[in-house]
Amino acid sequence: MKSFQSFRLDTANQCLWRGQERVPIAPKAFDVLRYLVENPGRLVTQDEVLEKLWPETYVNPEVFRKYILDIRKILGDRPDKPEFIETVTKRGYRFIAPVIDDDATLSQDLATQKQESAPEPAAALQIDQSRTHFFQRFAIIAILGVVVAVAIAGHFWFARGKATRSSPNANSIAVLPFADLSPGKDQEYFSDGLSEQLINDLAKVSGVKVVGRSSAFQFKGRNEDLREVGSKLGVANVLEGSVRRDGNRVRITAELIKTDDGFQLWSQTYDREINDIFAVQDEIARAATEALQLKLLGSNGQPVPSNLRSANPEAYQAFLQAQYFSALGESKEDMSKALAYTDQAIKLDQKYAPAWALRSSVQTMMAEVGVTEVTEGFRSARHDAEQAIALDSTSAPAYLALAKIQIDGDWDWDGAATSVTKAANLEPGSAEIFRLRSYLSRESGNLREAIRLEEQAVALDPLRPDFHLCLGYLLYVAGRYGEAQVSLQKALDLNPQAAFVHLTLGKILIAEGKPQQSLAEIEKEPLEWGKLTGQILAYHALSREKDSNAALAGLIASYDTGAGYQIAQVYAYRGESDKSFEWLERAYKQRDAGVSDIKTDPLFKSLRHDPRYTEFLKKMRLPT
């Protein structure tokens, strides 16, 4: 814990406090602030900070400067009269506020107490008041931490409510990440890949509810009681196991267990050559489903389709490595490694459809986050998806990869609907497919169907914050504000730093006629451009036009190339239709992903009777 002026930086828990109030700060901005605070009074260059914090990741210098701006705004600092961060032109930054290391102070006080004998009663009255105040503050923080933890835990379980306490469907299953028991502990990519493939195989079986990867992998390495796992995921059965690989030999142990009583429905151990791994995967999935069918589904169960895979073992291992890195996140390093491993897999087996499909998905992601040029990125991704489909017309991931290009790159809604339908026929239990189907329904204006499909996605992947956020946003758009707030709060329970949640809650409060409460909510939004967008709306609702204009000027100055849709949004809400259409056109030319929301977005209500609105919908190929 480090203190400076009225702030405390809790490096252990990644929190910033002002007095007894927690200050919202984005994770990367926190990392930059922490580095500056840990090097007080010393000039640090931008390159030094980037090398220390993200040595293997490319960070745009403009993005880094935005972190500095965000930190200054959070601290209330001014570049011309700095109290915290001093800019040394063309050289770097210096943290100039005095920093107190509370942990060191505590250790020193404890050591002093241990060395000194107990003071006389009279001397005790003269104990240094600063030390007394420190221990008082330390005690208060500790007590508050316990209270907050209890409150959050209580709210989390209460908010989950009936969904986690009621009996789950008997035909529901979660595949937990298989443990890596290999001697070198270097086969995590292999054990994760096996688990993910089993999830995909079981998702192909109609009549079986399979929890999505994101939620199931929350329990990786946690050794949690299976009754708790079943309660949190809403499943009656768990498939778990381990992988032990040594050279070309692999031993896979798998067991299917009921979560309510720990009863084992089926178990098996496989000792095979690595060349047999495809057959083992199919065998495990088939055996688990047959056990469910026999014990639970009666005669209604559907056997797992037997997929014939032609890839050689080396290509499959490269594919698993690519899959492992693509699941880690959106850093340039991870995406580049994922792409390199898909290239390796394809080089080893030109006809390996899963590698082509994964390569397409990685390239789409790289284009969307700006790592590659957008047009070329989507072109290459489309080629790979079509190649995957040509090689295997029964590959759901290939159709999903194509659908994402058609949605984000082409705005081809009919083509995307066709691709998603084909994927759904192949994997009827996939949470990601339900989410994409929900998105397509939302863009076409069918909110009731969009909500229904998103609820199914949440049921299949209940621990994904972004799924709860999407559901909350849909309920807000539909005017179901109370339900929306419940879903959005669940997203915060799962990830207190989730972006867009506070912004959406703020929009709901504006719609309910509570602009002052909205402004307070929006101030918690960790995403800077999201916060600015919300401030423009809330200030306008409060008739504080000067403040609304100032926030709008800030949004345009910093994000004119990335937030064109949001700028059009706020102009429409403020009744400035000409400027709104001007920014919509700019967002359209920039291929801003938000533009596709225009048909259902409540903030564009004032434009819906304008002929230009209808023309814009036609240009977006959306229903009029």
- Entry pTM: 0.65
Specify the pLDDT at position 70. 80
Specify the pLDDT at position 66. 73
Specify the pLDDT at position 292. 58
pLDDT at 159 over 60: no
Q: How confident is the model at residue 58 (pLDDT cuts 50, 70, 90)?
A: low
- Residue 578's CB is within 10 A of a number of other CB atoms, namely 9
pLDDT at 406 over 60: yes
DSSP string, 221-240: T----HHHHHHHHT-SEEEE
pLDDT at 143 over 80: no
pLDDT at 140 over 90: no
Specify the pLDDT at position 323. 86
Is residue 592 within 8 Å of residue 565, measured between CB atoms? yes
Specify the pLDDT at position 290. 67
Give the model confidence (pLDDT) of 563-620 as tens digits: 899 999 999 999 999 999 999 999 998 888 889 999 999 999 999 999 999 999 999 9
pLDDT at 459 over 60: yes
Give the model confidence (pLDDT) of 277-329 as tens digits: 667 766 776 666 666 555 444 434 454 444 435 457 788 888 888 988 888 76
d(CA 248, CA 313): 10
Q: Which residues does 212 contact at the CB level (< 8 Å), separation at least 6?
A: 199, 430, 431, 432, 460, 461, 464
Specify the pLDDT at position 33. 92
What letter would DSSP give residue 78?
-
Q: How confident is the model at residue 87 (pLDDT cuts 50, 70, 90)?
A: confident
pLDDT at 8 over 70: yes
Q: How confident is the model at residue 273 (pLDDT cuts 50, 70, 90)?
A: confident
Please give the mean pLDDT across all residues of the chain.
81
Distances (CA, A) of 520 to 76, 482, 509, 525, 546: 17, 18, 10, 10, 18
Specify the pLDDT at position 276. 67
Mean pLDDT along residues 44-71: 74
pLDDT at 60 over 80: no
d(CA 418, CA 409): 16
Looking at per-residue confidence, does 32 or 117 come out higher?
Answer: 32
Mean pLDDT along residues 523-530: 93
Specify the pLDDT at position 545. 96
pLDDT at 156 over 70: no
Q: How confident is the model at residue 132 (pLDDT cuts 50, 70, 90)?
A: very low
65-70 own/partner pairs: CB under 8 Å, 24+ apart: 66/528, 66/558, 67/26, 67/28, 67/29, 67/32, 68/32, 68/93, 69/528, 69/558, 70/25, 70/26, 70/29, 70/528
| Exposure letters 164-194 (e unless 16+ CB within 10 A, then b) | beeebeebbbbbbbbbbebeeeebbbbbbbb
Residue type, 556: I
- Residue 561's CB is within 10 A of a number of other CB atoms, namely 10
